Each structure stands twice: as structure tokens, then as C-alpha cells.
Structure 1
Amino acid sequence: MAGKIDHDHPLYLSSSDVPGAVQIGIQLTGMENYTLWSRAMELTLLTKNKLGFVDGSIKRASYTVDSEKKQWDRCNAMVLSWLMSNVSKELVSGILF
């Protein structure tokens, strides 16, 4: 991955993409609010061009250059941090492991 990543590329992270930056206003507590939470999270990840990290369409294996793999790891970790900040404490371990 030579040079800068275009802002439309899924591996792009802006300076505002930090852990905890994504707050959808709904904390997932279980099945009772999953539908609403998942739609709000889906829209948020779509606007950040990161939905593929959750639905599996952006795969680490599709990147062959070490720097791209490292950037994929960074983006994936960021998405995980966004998910963790929007679920109840009881559900966080399901994301981490």
C-alpha cells in the first residue's frame, strides 16, 4: 500500500475514527432491542465504509501486502471498539472472544 489511502477505500481511517467515536444512541442489551440496534449500527458502519468488516465482505486474506494487512488489522480493531462501546457490559465478552 504505497502512499495515502483514498478516503473512499475501506481501509481508510480518518483522524476522527478513534475508539468510542461511534455512539449510535442505543446500547445493545439483548434480543429485545437487537433489531433496532443492528439497523442503527449498520447505517453508521455504512457511512464510515466499514460495514464489510462486520458482514465479512472485507476479508484480510484479500490483502497480500504486509502494510495492507496491518491496516486491515487496525481497521478491524477500530470497528470492534465501536461495537464494544455500543453494547452492554454483559455482552462485551461476546465481541472480544
Structure 2
Amino acid sequence: MASSFYLHASNYPTQMHVNDVLTDKSYNDWVQEMTNFLFTKNKIGFFDVSIKNLEKDTTDYMPWMRCGAMVKGWLTTAMEKDIRNSVKYAKTVAEIRNDLLERFGKETAPKAYELK
């Protein structure tokens, strides 16, 4: 299995990998598409936090930072400007995820109930 810290030469941070950018009304669709994309790139661990933050003195720290920067680029490229501006200073992908969950995650339970 390929390492989660592997980046292909064709990857760059401003690639658009979902059909539509994240808006205040598209979180559920966006997160599903982004999750699928990150899974195919073997980077879902950065988003679902199964890959934990590494300390600077570890061997994999620089590859972890490099991949994290790439994933942050993928995420923010696929957001409308106001949302992107609210997360652009996050140090990790996990911080972006937590911010998005706090902002949009609360709405999903009532909406799901309403749809049923």
C-alpha cells in the first residue's frame, strides 16, 4: 500500500477536485465529494484525523507537513471566498475540518430529520 505521505508529481495545491465549490448551502454534497477525492488520493487520514499531528523531531514530520499543505490547498481551492478566508490561517487540515464541522455540521441533523 502506498504511503499517505506520497505526493505524485502531477499534484498541485490549487487543483479543483469537486464539481462545485463549498458554499453555505452545499456542505453535505461538498464534503461527500471531497471525502471521496481524498480517499482516492490516500489522504483521507489528514481530513478524518486518523493521521495524527507529528512532532518536529520525527522522521516523517516534513512529509506530513508537505502533504498537509497540499490537502489544505485542495480544500481551500474548493471553497467560496468567504469560507476560504475563514479557514486560511488554520495550521492543519484537522483545524479546517473542525471549523467546517462547527460551522455546517450542526445544520445537518435538523435538515436530515426534516428530509425524513
* Equivalence for 2:79: 87
SS of the residue 1:26 aligns to: coil
Letter in 2 for 1:72: W
Aligned-residue offset at 1:11 = 0.3
The normalised TM-score by structure 2 is 0.69
Secondary structure in structure 2 of the residue aligned to 1:61: coil
Q: Quick one: which amino acid aligns to residue 6 of structure 2?
A: Y
Please list every run of at least 4 consecutive aligned residues from structure 1 whose deviation after the TM superposition is greater than 2 angstroms: 60-64
Percent identity of equivalent pairs: 34
Aligned to 1:14: 8
C-alpha distance in structure 2 between counterparts of 1:42 and 1:59, whole Å: 17
Alignment partners' CA distance in 1, 2:71 and 2:80: 16
Q: Distance in 1 between matches of 2:13 and 2:58?
A: 26
Gaps of 5+ in 1: 1-6
Gaps of 5+ in 2: 90-116
> Match of 2:22, as an amino acid?
L
**Matches of 1:78 and 1:10 in 2, distance apart?**
12
CA contact (8 A) 2:17 2:78 kept: yes
Match of 1:4 in 2: none
Could you tell which deviates more after superposition, 17-26 or 48-57? 17-26
CA radius of gyration, larger in: 2
Q: Which has the higher contact order (CA 8 A, sep 6+)?
A: 1
